[in-house]
Amino acid sequence: MILAAICLSDLQTPHILGGSMIVAIDGPAASGKSTVAKTLATRIGMHYLDTGAMYRSVALEALARGISLDDESAMGELARSVRIDFAYEGDAAIATTVMLNGRDVSADIRTPRIDDAVSVAARNKAVRSAMVKRQREIASTSDTVMEGRDIGTVVFPDADVKVFLTASADERARRRHVELSERGVETAADRVREGLVNRDHADSSRETAPLRPAEDAIQLDTTGMTIHDVVAAIAALVDDAR
Ligand code: DC
């Protein structure tokens, strides 16, 4: 009996147990995941979950409390104790607000300071296990398009659709620079590119749940593609899976 309980909680995801439909979208920073996943979720009528926002929230709270990002046990404890929620407005599929312990941190988690800190927080095993638990919990209640780095490999290895998006480093840096400027965050373009490349390296080379495509993921290079084309391609995969 105990063995069955351990197997279920450790290995089986809510999806495998017959829950919601999951569309996993993984890829490096600024590969187009967020825009594509949000547009897709709206188009096919699913919820959207930004798992990067959760790691960002943990990093933000660690900096606010003066906890060293390298302190494995304190960071693990912090990740288990924070409450992260996504607030939906009305019937909207897209959660516009990220809540950390009841406080709106949507803007605070998207600064260059958090960009630099988040990879260190995200490589911590205990932090990851707390976030994965919460991600499965949130997705168990509705069909969800989830974007991240390890959705298809770790969080939902049996996801109905798995996509891995890529784009050249130059194109990704360009997109991120435009996005930051639109939000009024002024940073030098080459500093943005350097930050992205460093983060990719940290995310891909970490020991726990490194950034990599699942073996059965469909890989799409979005460099020359429009958002519309990428969304249409994934929507077709979802149709086939339904
Ligand atoms: O998608 P993003 O740039 O907001 O992600 C922020 C960081 O969080 C990124 O450096 C990697 C990490 N992350 C992760 O390790 N696993 C996820 N599922 C999502 C994000």
Indicate the pTM of the whole model: 0.88
Is residue 41 within 8 A of residue 47, CB to CB? The reply is yes
CA angle 71, 30, 47 (to 5 degrees): 85
User: Is 112 within a domain?
Assistant: yes
Asked, for residue 15, whether it belongs to a domain, the answer is no
Is 59 part of any domain? yes
Evaluate whether residue 16 is within a structural domain: no
- Residue 37, in any domain of the structure: yes
DSSP element (H, E) containing 102: none
Let me know if residue 182 belongs to a domain: yes
Cβ 55 under 6 angstroms from ligand 1: yes
Paired tokens of 99 = 């809540």
Can you count the helices (H) and strands (E) in the chain?
9, 8
Distance 38 CA to ligand 1 centre (A): 16
56: in domain: yes
Question: Tens digit of pLDDT per residue, the chain (242 long)?
Answer: 222 222 223 333 444 445 689 999 999 988 999 999 999 999 999 999 999 999 999 999 999 999 999 999 999 999 999 999 998 766 666 777 999 999 999 999 998 899 889 999 999 999 999 999 999 999 998 999 999 999 999 999 999 999 999 999 999 999 989 988 988 888 898 999 999 999 899 989 999 999 999 999 999 999 989 999 999 999 999 999 98
Q: Cα separation of 237 and 26, whole Å?
A: 15
- Which of 26, 86, 149 has most ligand 1 atoms within 8 Å of CB, for mutation? 149
Return d(Cα 37, Cα 239) in angstroms, integer: 15
Does any domain span residue 177?
yes
Domain that holds residue 200: 2-10+21-241
The total of structural domains in the chain comes to 1
Residue count (the chain): 242
- Specify the CATH number for the domain of residue 137: 3.40.50.300
Mutate to test the pocket of ligand 1, among 118, 164, 200 (most ligand atoms within 8 A of CB): 118
